[in-house]
Chain A
Amino acid sequence: MDFLNAIALFCNFVLVPATAYGAQLALGALGITVIYSILRFANFAHGELMSWGAMLTLFLTWYLQSAGIHAGPLPTALLALPVGILGTIAMALATERIVYRFYRKQRASSITFAIVSVGVMFVMAGLIRFMIGPGEQVMTDGHRFLIRAVEFKHMTGLDEGFAIKTTQVITIAVAMVMTGFLFWFLYRTRSGKAMRAFSDNEDLALLSGINPDRIVAIAWILAAILATVSGTLYGLDKSYKPFVFMQLLLPIFAAAIVGGIGQPVGAILGGFVIAYSEVLLTYAYRKFLAYLVPGDWVPEGLLQLLSTDYKFAVSFIILVVVLLIRPTGIIRGKLL
């Protein structure tokens, strides 16, 4: 019984939240990786693109809610998501046309691109804060829990509750659908294969008659879709705060590099590595251990390796270790 309690505790506070968080990071890192593999620069504006997508979705959600339209037990934001995606695609394509295309034709260095993306980040951050304000917003509605802690206790007779939030299930399900779609696109469609070809060998892709403008546009569309979905899922799971997305930039970049930049599989892997490490290292194991060992063996203190205040440090430390030991990432990616 104690063993089961320990498992329930672990699932409730580590496994499920970390999996949901990992899925959000993985989708964000995929967006970074898509842009990196086609345009070959570290896009500092990606966090703001996520924020933009989530904001548009949130606006429409409010509208739908005020019009009395709901998605039953699911959050209304899911209904608004497609429109949010369209708006974010428009934004991404606009930055490509107005800002990035010029540097692309010049074949500017990746650092120039990165600095330009800082400019884009500023503009988007300003627009977002101007439009929605810097405060915190609640995105989710509908049924908050799929399984409530109390219900779980009743059902199983365990002392520990195990709750699953609706948003966690949605996050994982949507993330799976999204990655499935992405891989289908990249490996089964002509455009997707052309994208991989372009990423692999740009000059040869041009020789084969692949139109670079089209490939770049598709890359931005994919990045916008991924950004909106990951931003919205993060907002649903936690809440929507404009400045959070700049802090998310670090774990997302870390996930992309740790997995192997330019490698979609690597981005997913990296996202989960970062998320699990973050949660595992900042979880206080005292109660968990108390179920497993005799009472007087349990040491004092929280048994927490790292305070939750330092969760960002985890992604950084993993990043540094990977840079030192295997700079190409887990799945050998292109060296930045």
Chain B
Amino acid sequence: MKQKGRLYFAIFVVLVFGVGWLQSWNVAFGILNMCLISAIMALGVNIQWGYAGLFNAGIMGFIALGGLSAVLISAKPVSEAWSTGGLDILGSLIISGMTVLVILHVRKKIAPPLRIWIIIAVSLIGYWLFQGLYSPAVEQIEKINPALTGYLGGLGLPIIVSWLIGGLVAAGGAWLIGRISLGLRADYLAIATLGISEIIIAIIKYEEWLTRGVKNVTGLPRPVPYEVDLIETRWFASLAEIFSANPVAMASLLVKLCYFILFLGVLAILMWLSERALKSPWGRMMRAIRDNRDAASAMGKDVTGRHLQTFVLGCAVCGIAGAMLVTLDGQLVPGSYAPLRYTFLIWVMVILGGSGNNWGSVLGGCIIWFIWIQAEPLGYALVEAVTLPFEDSYWLKHHLIENAAQTRLILMGAILLVVMRFAPKGLIPER
């Protein structure tokens, strides 16, 4: 089995090399970097699905939380915004937190007939206080230089820090949603996560004081050198001379290579941790719970508690990947988060790679991302070939070619269905 896995990875490397030769090394490394991020996302989902059998339909939300953290950590703080509305915003957030705490307390301490009214009263008062601080503050913050900032900004720390923080933030969100929906059966978790992810995206899209919303945050600082700076250094110029390459293309390639090394490092660390976890007594217990929940629970295992652990861990990994994604792009584009791309595509990766096998998920992440990118031109080629007999002016031909890119969705669905049907264990099955 191991050899089969190596063979698949070898095929993938050959494919990437092929792109390097035929298209360009820049494209190849661009794909490769996204493959690594996809692999990390798939790894996170595999921790949930493969270790514990949890169906998370809200991966997108946790990836976006990671992306949000990248902005909040690395963007330059807008001091004017902080001084006008920052404290009020913080205050309003504290108030809403307190309100929830008070409600939880009331739920525990007060008997039913009165309880519901007290809860309603508390939430109304809390809401009123919250609005009093929040709305004016938001209005003021968004007024400050809206074309450039109009938000609080971040902490101005190195963006790499956000990879860790992104994981923690996603873990926090996962803990909340897991507490609510994990005690129930599996499909509820799927629907609850589907919901929370839509809400997270809505917050990132519409809370302009936090993320600038659809105006996007661009120009986030990089953890690696900028191309323009590279070109100006002497050692780089001499390097370019040695390879007798175009300095601009080479700088771009070198930057991508830096990212590649960073991402590979993160993947390696996460892989090492995941493999250790899987082989530890904890991992064995998780699989025992997955395979026979009732028996494990009868043996005194805290099934819901263990599930919560894995769910939080998996989401944290997705959050890390989300922060890395924003780092690579250098910008947060809230409008780009779509469930097909950021939730269900990851599922295709995990299912194809092999549920329960970390190497499988990495492989699935790499291969599916590669196909996802290459299927677009292929789709065009295919549709153009099919519609060749028609006149160029024929409306249907025009229409079909215009939408040819969408065929890759069909391909992804077909891959998922075929794997589920004929090789449900995936390319690299669980040992």
Q: Hey, which bits of chain A sit against chain B, CB under 8 A?
A: 41-42, 44, 99, 102, 110-112, 114-116, 118-127, 129-134, 243, 246-247, 249-250, 253-254, 257, 301, 305, 307, 309-310, 312-313, 315-316, 319-320, 323-324, 327, 335-336
CB distance from A234 to the nearest CB of B (A): 17
Q: B306-348 vs A: 1/0 string, CB under 8 Å?
A: 0000000000000000000000000000000011100010011
Please tell me if the beta carbons of A127 and B410 are within 8 angstroms of each other in the complex: yes
Residues from chain A with Cβ under 8 Å of B131 in the complex: 301
Whether B339 and A129, one on each chain, are in contact in the complex, defined by CB atoms closer than 8 angstroms, is: no
A44-B57, A115-B351, A307-B206 are known contacts. Are A336 and B184 too (CB-CB below 8 A)?
A: yes
Pick from A127, A301, A323: contact of B184, CB under 8 Å: A323
Q: Check B234 for interface membership: any CB of A closer than 8 A.
A: no
Residue of B nearest to A247 (CB): B198
Question: Which residue of chain B has its CB nearest to the CB of A327?
Answer: B184
Known: A110-B187, A112-B420. A121 touches B344 (CB 8 A): yes
B contact residues around A127 at 8 Å (CB): 410
- Partner of B413 from the list A126, A254, A301, A335 (CB cut-off 8 Å) is A126
8 A Cβ contacts from B28-43 to A: none
Q: Choose one: B338, B348, B400; the contact of A122 (CB below 8 Å).
A: B348
Contacting pair A111 B403 (CB below 8 A):
no
Residue pair A129, B406 in contact (C-beta under 8 Å): yes
The majority secondary structure among interface residues of chain B is: helix
B387 interface hit (Cβ, 8 Å): no
Tell me the nearest residue of chain A to B132, going by C-beta.
A301
Number of B residues, CB within 8 Å of A: 49
Knowing that A312-B199, A313-B199 touch, tell me 16 more A-B residue pairs with CB under 8 angstroms: A99-B421, A111-B55, A111-B186, A111-B187, A120-B413, A121-B344, A121-B413, A122-B344, A130-B403, A130-B407, A134-B403, A310-B199, A313-B198, A327-B188, A335-B184, A336-B186
A/B interface sample: 30 pairs, CB < 8 A:
A42-B190, A44-B190, A114-B55, A114-B190, A115-B351, A118-B344, A119-B413, A119-B417, A120-B417, A121-B344, A122-B344, A122-B412, A123-B410, A123-B414, A124-B413, A126-B410, A127-B410, A130-B407, A249-B194, A250-B194, A250-B198, A257-B188, A309-B202, A310-B206, A312-B202, A313-B198, A316-B192, A316-B198, A319-B192, A323-B181
Please list the residues of chain B having a beta carbon within 8 angstroms of any beta carbon in chain A. 53, 55, 57, 127, 131, 135, 180-181, 184-188, 190-192, 194-196, 198-199, 202, 205-206, 338-340, 344, 347-348, 351, 399-400, 402-404, 406-414, 416-417, 420-421
Nearest CB on A from B118, distance (A): 16
Least CB separation from B135: chain A residue: A301
Which chain B positions have C-beta within 8 A of A249? 194
**Within the assembled complex, what's the spacing in Å between the Cα atoms of A110 and B413?**
19
Residues of A within 8 A of B186 (CB): 110-111, 336
- Chief secondary structure at chain A's binding surface: helix
Which A residues are in CB contact (< 8 Å) with B410? 122-123, 126-127, 130
**Of A134, A257, A327, which is within 8 A of B191 by CB?**
A257
A310 / chain B contacts, CB cutoff of 8 Å: 199, 202, 206
- Of the listed residues B135, B185, B344, the one surrounded by the most CB atoms of chain A closer than 10 A to its CB is B344
B191 touches A254 (CB 8 A): yes
Nearest CB in chain A: distance from B408 CB, A: 7
With A and B bound together, what is the CA distance between A249 and B194 in angstroms?
9
Query: Are the C-beta atoms of B180 and A324 separated by less than 8 Å?
Result: yes
CB-CB under 8 A from B135, the residues of chain A are: 301
| Bound Cα distance from A195 to B59, whole angstroms | 36
Residues of B within 8 Å of A133, CB to CB, are 399, 402-403
* Contact residues in A for B127 (Cβ distance below 8 Å): 305
Q: Determine which of B180, B185, B194 lies in contact with A253 in the assembled complex, contact meaning CB atoms within 8 Å.
A: B194
Q: How far is the CA of A115 from the CA of B348 in the complex (A)?
A: 9
Q: Are A126 and B407 in contact (CB under 8 A)?
A: yes
Beyond A313-B202, A320-B180, whether A246 also contacts B196 by CB under 8 A is no
Which residues from chain B contact A44 at a C-beta distance below 8 Å? 57, 190
Of A130, A305, A316, which contacts B406 at CB under 8 A?
A130
Contact A246–B206 (Cβ < 8 Å): no
CB distance from A109 to the nearest CB of B (A): 8
Distance in angstroms between the alpha carbons of A131 and B348 in the assembled complex = 23
Known contacts A118-B344, A122-B410, A133-B399; is-contact A250 B184 (Cβ 8 Å): no
| Contact residues in B for A126 (Cβ distance below 8 Å) | 406-413
Q: Which residues of B contact A129 (CB under 8 A)?
A: 403, 406, 409
